[in-house]
Every structure is written in structure tokens, then in C-alpha cells.
Amino acid sequence: MDDRRIPFPGQTTMRTWAVALPALALLALLLQSVVRPPWQAQFPPLRTGEIAVGGVPLVVELAIAPEERVRGLGYREGLAPGTGMLFVGDEARQQSFWMKGMRFCLDIVWIEGGQIVGAAENACPDPAGTPDKERQRYTSLEPVRYALEVPAGWLDSYGFDVGTAVEGIEAAVAAAS
């Protein structure tokens, strides 16, 4: 007796798709990790440094140059645990941030004199399509030289508030220069 079977119409196609779809999904994931959006290719990676907030170490990307501060964390998918972005101003002044291009919520921490002086907690992106002039702005209540962006809820998770010590900023900035 012959053990070969004649496939019914569409059976070969279903088997082909059953093998091809997972392979295509894997290929898409690999390409996604290799192919960078055009806006990312225009910018070199930022310098990094280490600071400590309330004794908790944090690796921060340093946004020092004006174009780095403007780009900020826009168009990213999130921050890895234990990381943030430190915005370094030329001098203490009232700082203002908006969420243009943001895809996740943040705590924006205002720092001056080696301590937290305020924060905009759980700052979230505006709805898609919001015109720039209508975007929410988060502004420090007093002049500060530094602003730290960390994932939303970070301050609360550690119980940090106004007066919490921030160490290592000057050393991180000096090492990056």
C-alpha cells in the first residue's frame, strides 16, 4: 500500500504559511533592532555619567549642547532601569520642558545647589496630533541649572522629595567635557 497522500487544495499553502510566518516575524524583529529610524542616525550617542540621588546610583545621558537638550528623550520607547537623562544648563535659570515626541511618562526633577528643589511628577505626552503651541509645558518654580528626567513614578518609588541630596553632577559633567 502506498503511504503517500495527495494534499487537498490549500494544504501545501497552509504548511508553507505555518513555517513562513514565524520566520518572517523573527526577521522583522531582527531588522527592527538593526535598522534605526532616520532621526536617530542623525545624532551621535550622548555622553554618559554617574550621579547619585538620595544615595541611589543612576547612569545618566548628559544633554549638554543645545541640540542635545532640544532632542532630549523624544521619540524613544522608554528608559532602562537605573538610567535617566540629565539636562545641563549654562547657568541657573527657570527651565521649561514640553513632551514633543515623547512616547512615555516621566518625572522631571529640578536640581540646584546639590539637591532636589522641585519636580513635575508623572508628566505624560500630549495626545497625538496636539499642535506645538497647545502642548503642556512643565516649568521649574525657581532658577535651576540641572533637570533630571527619569521614568514616571521614580521619585515616589524612592520617597524622594525637595531637599533630597544629588551628588556627582559636577564630576560627571567634567568627565564628559
Domain residue spans in the chain?
39-176
| Cβ–Cβ under 8 Å, residues 166 and 117 | no
| Cβ–Cβ under 8 Å, residues 150 and 56 | no
pLDDT at 126: 87
The 8 Å CB, 24+ separation contacts for 26-29 are none
The residue ranking higher by pLDDT, 169 or 5, is 169
HSE-up (13 A, CA, CB side) for residue 6? 1
**Which pTM does this prediction carry?**
0.75
Tens of pLDDT, residue by residue over 75-123, are: 888 899 999 999 999 999 999 998 888 889 999 999 999 999 999 999 9
Q: Which CATH class is domain 39-176?
A: mainly beta
H helix or E strand, kind and range, residue 26 = helix 11-34
Task: List, in sequence order, every beta strand (DSSP E) within 2-101.
Answer: 48-53, 56-63, 83-93, 96-98
108 phi and psi angles, rounded to 5 deg: -105, 120
